[in-house]
Structures are given as structure tokens and as C-alpha cells.
């Protein structure tokens, strides 16, 4: 989470017709809280708690309890590495940072409408983008099933020092509780951008140096993998 000089692009939506863009130079965080601004949530440090669905294991993330449909935000920019159903995470999305060192896992997304419009595997997303919607899917081998008791986002962060750690017993998942607390100061504001599909988009964009060329470069580095 680097604090560095960034350019903020502010898009003003005036009555949905007139667009006025104002550029502003700012210092600030480039990482965002995974819960959109103005949506409430609660959490506690539940890293390492026991979980029993499927097999006995520990909880490798932080559960953010909120309302169904809350827009979920990309914490860091990166490439969508996994998208679709996983029996543990339900509808989930996995995003790898451009340098390949961090993998973000967002799970239990909304039944029938898990992902934001246009989200596809292999695409580039920017920190602050809407990527999906909070739900309670998962704990089922059958797709699109709500088997989680309390609606929440499961947010996980994996550190990858070497590709051999991926999909192996050497995976490193960290306790993100304090990171979530820290990110509360930087939340992405959203608005309903499509009345028909009920999709949301970010209200304020920012320019990230080298962002446009990142997607292809990362594809050529061959960072794709197969499991959660």
C-alpha cells in the first residue's frame, strides 16, 4: 500500500446528461476498501478461526458483514485471474496485482448477479472499480446456491514470493484485519450506472501511470493458474 503522488480524475455527473471532468493532482492512497462508500459493514479479526465445510481448516481471510447487493470494490489494480463458481467461495473473483506478488480473493458474491457488468477473466481492473456485489453464495458443489447463513464478503489476500507457492501447501494468506481498518480512510463512491441491469460504477476515477499497457504485459508473463 504505497502512498504516492497520483492524479485524480473527477467525473461529475450532472443530471445524467452533461459530463464535466475535472483533473486534480493529489497525494493519497491508491488502494481502496473492498466495500463501496456509504455502505455499512461490520467485521472482527476472524483470521484463523475454524471452518468445517468440506474439510476441517482455518479461515484464511476476513469476513465483512453487509447487505446483499452492496457494490464490491477492487482493492488494488490487477488482472482478473479467476472468475466463476467455487464450492467454498461460491461466486468468487480472484485478482492478481500487476507485479504478480499479491492475489486478492473476493467470495460469496450475490446469487444471480455476482459480477459487475463487463467483468471477464483476463481483463484489467483498476483499484476502486466496482467488480461485483455482496451476497451469500457458496458451500455447495451446485452453482448459484445461497448456502452461507449471513450475507458477507469474504476478503482474502495471498502473498506470492515465488510461483511455486501457488496452488501448493506453501500458500501464504495473511491476516487482513488491520489492512481493512487502514483502508476505511479510502473508499470508492459509486452510482447506479445502468438502471436495467442495476449495475453500479465508480464515481471518481484516477490516472495510474502505465496502467493501459499492463494487461498484455501480464498476460505474456503467464501468471494464470487454475484453482482458488
Nearer to Zn ion, 61 or 135 (CB): 61
- Burial per residue of 159-197, b for 16 or more beta-carbon CB atoms within 10 angstroms, e otherwise: ebeeeeebeeeeeebebbbebbeebeebbbebeebeeee
Number of C-beta neighbours around residue 200 at 10 A: 22
Smallest gap from residue 106 Cβ to Zn ion (A): 11
Smallest gap from residue 174 Cβ to Zn ion (A): 14
Nearer to Zn ion, 48 or 118 (CB): 48
Smallest gap from residue 87 Cβ to Zn ion (A): 14
Dihedrals phi, psi of 161, to nearest 5 degrees: -90, -30
Helix or strand or coil: residue 146?
strand
Smallest gap from residue 192 Cβ to Zn ion (A): 28
Indicate which single residue of 32, 63, 127, 135 sits in contact with Zn ion (rule: CB under 5 A). Answer: 63
**In contact, 69 and 110? CB cutoff 8 Å:** yes
Nearer to Zn ion, 77 or 158 (CB): 158
Number of Cα atoms under 13 Å in the Cβ half of residue 163 = 8
Dihedrals phi, psi of 220, to nearest 5 degrees: -70, -20
Smallest gap from residue 185 Cβ to Zn ion (A): 23
Window 42-61: residues binding Zn ion (CB under 5 A):
61
Q: How many residues bind Zn ion (CB under 5 A)?
A: 3
Angle at 40 between CA 119 and CA 42, to 5 degrees: 100
Helix or strand or coil: residue 171?
coil
Can residue 90 be called a binding residue for Zn ion (CB under 5 A)?
no
**In contact, 158 and 119? CB cutoff 8 Å:** no
Nearer to Zn ion, 64 or 79 (CB): 64
Smallest gap from residue 228 Cβ to Zn ion (A): 12
The three grid cell numbers given for residue 22, joined into one nine-digit string: 475535472
Per-residue contact track with Zn ion, 144 to 183, x per CB under 5 A?
Answer: ----------x-----------------------------
Binding site for Zn ion (CB under 5 A): 61, 63, 154
Amino acid at each position: 500500500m504505497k502512498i504516492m503522488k497520483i492524479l485524480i480524475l473527477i467525473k461529475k455527473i450532472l443530471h445524467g446528461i452533461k459530463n464535466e471532468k475535472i483533473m486534480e493532482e493529489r497525494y493519497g492512497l491508491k488502494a481502496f476498501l473492498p466495500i463501496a462508500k456509504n455502505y455499512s459493514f461490520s467485521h472482527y479479526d476472524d483470521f484463523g478461526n475454524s471452518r468445517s465445510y468440506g474439510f476441517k481448516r482455518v479461515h484464511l481471510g476476513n469476513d465483512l458483514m453487509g447487505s446483499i447487493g452492496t457494490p464490491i470494490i477492487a482493492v488494488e489494480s490487477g488482472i482478473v485471474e479467476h472468475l466463476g463458481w467455487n464450492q467454498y467461495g461460491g461466486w468468487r473473483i480472484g485478482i492478481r496485482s500487476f507485479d504478480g506478488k499479491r492475489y486478492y480473493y473476493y467470495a460469496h458474491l450475490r446469487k444471480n448477479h455476482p459480477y459487475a457488468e463487463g467483468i471477464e477473466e483476463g481483463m484489467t481492473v483498476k483499484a476502486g472499480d466496482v467488480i461485483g456485489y455482496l451476497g451469500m453464495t457458496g458451500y455447495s458443489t451446485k452453482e448459484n446456491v445461497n448456502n452461507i447463513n449471513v450475507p458477507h464478503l469474504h476478503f482474502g489476500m495471498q502473498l506470492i514470493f515465488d510461483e511455486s507457492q501457488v496452488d501448493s501447501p506453501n500458500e501464504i494468506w495473511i491476516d487482513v484485519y488491520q489492512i481493512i481498518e487502514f483502508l476505511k480512510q479510502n473508499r470508492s463512491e459509486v452510482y447506479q450506472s445502468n438502471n436495467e441491469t442495476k449495475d453500479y460504477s465508480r464515481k471518481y476515477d484516477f490516472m495510474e501511470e502505465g496502467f493501459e499497457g499492463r494487461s498484455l504485459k501480464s498476460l505474456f508473463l503467464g501468471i494464470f493458474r487454475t484453482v482458488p
